[in-house]
Amino acid sequence: VLAARVAERESQIVLGLDPDPGALWPGAELAGSANGAPADRAAAAVLHHCREVIDATAEACVAVKLQLARFELLGAPGWAALEEVAAHARLRGLLVIADGKRGDIDVSAQAYASALFGGCETPFGWLPGLGAEMATVNPLMGVDAIAPFVATARAAGAGVLVLVRTSNPGAADVEDLAVSGGGAVWERIAEIVARLGQDAAGETGLGDVGAVVGATEPAHLVRARELMPRAVFLLPGVGAQGGRVEDLAPAFAPGRAGGLITASRSIVNAYLAPENSAAGAGAAAAARAEAERLREQAWALSAAPA
Amino acid sequence: VLAARVAERESQIVLGLDPDPGALWPGAELAGSANGAPADRAAAAVLHHCREVIDATAEACVAVKLQLARFELLGAPGWAALEEVAAHARLRGLLVIADGKRGDIDVSAQAYASALFGGCETPFGWLPGLGAEMATVNPLMGVDAIAPFVATARAAGAGVLVLVRTSNPGAADVEDLAVSGGGAVWERIAEIVARLGQDAAGETGLGDVGAVVGATEPAHLVRARELMPRAVFLLPGVGAQGGRVEDLAPAFAPGRAGGLITASRSIVNAYLAPENSAAGAGAAAAARAEAERLREQAWALSAAPA
């Protein structure tokens, strides 16, 4: 699914939606009716904002990444808005990545996986779940915390993105610990990812167990590709965190869909940049331009080798 | 808060609520009106079930642990039910532990923490959040993934329970990796927990940064207590997973509130055990008896040394 969509849209850009109710696009606040509980009003405004951002940038993107934390903050109305944002993204031809970094075992992992991917049958009828095409998963608890997500995703034709080496400074505290016998903790996690994805690599050469690998440290990216030759990489950290698209070539070794570059605030808040503010660029126009700039850069970088 | 509550209720038992819509207490299904969407009906039944379980066992418990995965599976109505279950638990004098094992950084961690603990101010008004007294947190991404939870919890008078050494077999895959220089990954995480909780140990000698430590391996518990002398331990794995209350004494070294023993299915499904089925014990009576049995056992074990 992913490889075809990347080819069709000629994009590896993932629009990160991370809506802060206090920093929505101008006008979004009006969508929240003046009456109603704060959470309902905030959720209406967030939904409006997300739809606008999607409409502005969808052409340059292949997927949206929905930061679940921001929706949970709004409680039940937030979860309803999350479902509507996902539906709207699909309407615009985008895949949906649920960024919840869930990790648990057994029936709890199964419940998370059903909630995010395929839904489940209950005595009360079918619960559809979010229907995400991909979801981020935290591997700390080990293989039995990842496997239920992989199985459920596989059954639904979806994929899993395991946190392997994240882009934050704190990654040094646990992920980078050196393991006796060689390598770092994150490299062991990478080996688990490679093993779990092994059976499922389709014609495209890409498996359905991918990895989150920060774009901030190019050396890690090379090593990650060695360890996970067929994994899709979700690459956060471009822009605000200092990662550069031109350093991401190793991600595309297995093909153009081998790397997904996620950008959130650098797209959504492009209109606040000094050069755009001065030009009076509207939020939508600035976001579209930034997404298109990233798209062109990544697409050129990932051109299949001759 | 926790130490006082433990003393007042003479209990260290945490009721784990993990409601499977397909295995609720007899009669709960009727609470879901015959009309309405499946998720609404399932959420009504789950809410009814959780209230009944709380009413049956509250006297023997000090807290409920709500498995967020099960509520998320029900979408927006599930999140609403979660809030109502938390409110009902409080009404019965129980503390609320949100078991979501969240882990993320920066504004996302902040959003999760606000959603679970203290709420936050927005242009649309105050969002109250779940108001949990404790929440489980996944430390894989490092200190910057834990710190926002700790800060928000501290401001709200709540506490954090960091996954340190879980009770599942997969814990061997990452948590148990030997680190060069000595110790296992989980021991390094334990050191982080001890450090983050250091400043906040109150008169009771307990800090506000606790740890999830599986009850299945007593040797780990001894070592965990060495590394985290003032942390509250949440102890899963008693019952179904093979952990035994009598092995948990090291948890109580800093005081009676040093260990919280969580039991989910062993309490809720006690009525399905052969001896209870044969006796025709109702679900509520069997749950109450099992919770009380655990309470007595733990309370006796944790008696302050002479």
Quote the DSSP letter at residue B273.
Answer: S
- What's the length of chain A? 306
Question: Residue B263 has which token pair?
Answer: 């039991």
Q: How far is it, in rounded angstroms, from Cα A172 to Cα A186?
A: 10
Q: How far is it, in rounded angstroms, from Cα A81 to Cα B82?
A: 17
- Angle value at C-alpha A103, between B178 and A189, nearest 5 degrees: 40
CB B193 within 8 A of CB B211: yes
CB A85 within 8 A of CB A35: no
| Identity of residue B23 | A
Is B65 one of the catalytic residues?
no
CB B133 within 8 A of CB B96: yes
This prediction's pTM: 0.97
| Contact state of A70 with B166 under an 8 Å Cβ cutoff | no
Per-residue pLDDT tens digits for A212-244: 999 988 999 999 999 999 999 999 989 878 899
Quote the DSSP letter at residue B159.
Answer: E
Q: Which member of A42, A103, A122 has the closest CB to residue B22?
A: A122
Regarding predicted confidence, which is higher, B303 or A210? A210
Q: How far is it, in rounded angstroms, from Cα A176 to Cα A168?
A: 11
Per-residue pLDDT tens digits for A75-97: 999 999 999 999 999 999 999 99
Mutate to test the interface with A, among B35, B83, B110, B124 (most CBs of A within 10 A): B124
Per-residue pLDDT tens digits for A143-152: 999 999 999 9
CB A259 within 8 A of CB A251: yes
Q: Which member of A127, A172, A185 has the closest CB to residue B185?
A: A185
| Identity of residue B253 | A
**Mean pLDDT of successive 10-residue segments in chain B (306 residues)?**
94 98 92 83 96 98 98 97 98 98 97 96 95 98 97 96 96 97 97 88 81 93 96 92 91 95 96 86 94 97 71
Report helix angle A185-197 to A218-227, nearest 10: 40
Which chain A residues touch B168 with a CB distance below 8 Å? Answer: 105-106, 141-142, 144-145
Which chain B residues touch A107 with a CB distance below 8 Å? Answer: 18, 20
pLDDT in the model for residue A202: 65
Q: Which helix (H) or strand (E) holds A38?
A: helix A38-57
Mutate to test the interface with B, among A18, A83, A97, A104 (most CBs of B within 10 A): A104
Shortest distance, CA A109 to any CA of chain B (angstroms): 7
Question: Residue B42 has which token pair?
Answer: 């399932």
CB B135 within 8 A of CB B149: yes
Shortest distance, CA B116 to any CA of chain A (angstroms): 8
Q: Is the pLDDT of residue A127 over 70?
A: yes
pLDDT in the model for residue B217: 87
CB B166 within 8 A of CB B140: no
Q: Which helix (H) or strand (E) holds B128?
A: none
Shortest distance, CA B181 to any CA of chain A (angstroms): 8
Which chain A residues touch B104 with a CB distance below 8 Å? Answer: 67, 69, 101
Nearest to A51 by CA among A80, A14, A92: A92
| Contact state of A138 with B138 under an 8 Å Cβ cutoff | yes
Active-site residue, selected from the candidate residues B5, B90, B101, B293: B101
CB B215 within 8 A of CB B247: yes
Which chain B residues touch A169 with a CB distance below 8 Å? Answer: 142, 144
HSE-up of residue B192 (Cα within 13 Å, Cβ side): 27
pLDDT in the model for residue B203: 66
Which chain B residues touch A193 with a CB distance below 8 Å? Answer: none
List of residues 6+ apart from B59 with CB closer than 8 A: B288, B292
| Identity of residue B162 | V
| Contact state of A140 with B163 under an 8 Å Cβ cutoff | yes
Burial bucket for residue A44 (CB in 10 Å: 0-12, 13-18, 19+): buried
Q: Mean pLDDT for chain A?
A: 94
Q: Is the pLDDT of residue A203 over 70?
A: no
DSSP 3-state assignment of A70? helix
Report helix angle A283-301 to A38-57, nearest 10: 50
Quote the DSSP letter at residue B183.
Answer: S
| Contact state of B111 with A181 under an 8 Å Cβ cutoff | no
Q: How far is it, in rounded angstroms, from Cα A66 to Cα B104?
A: 13
Residue that has been written with the tokens 């052969």 in this structure: B274
| Contact state of A38 with B70 under an 8 Å Cβ cutoff | no
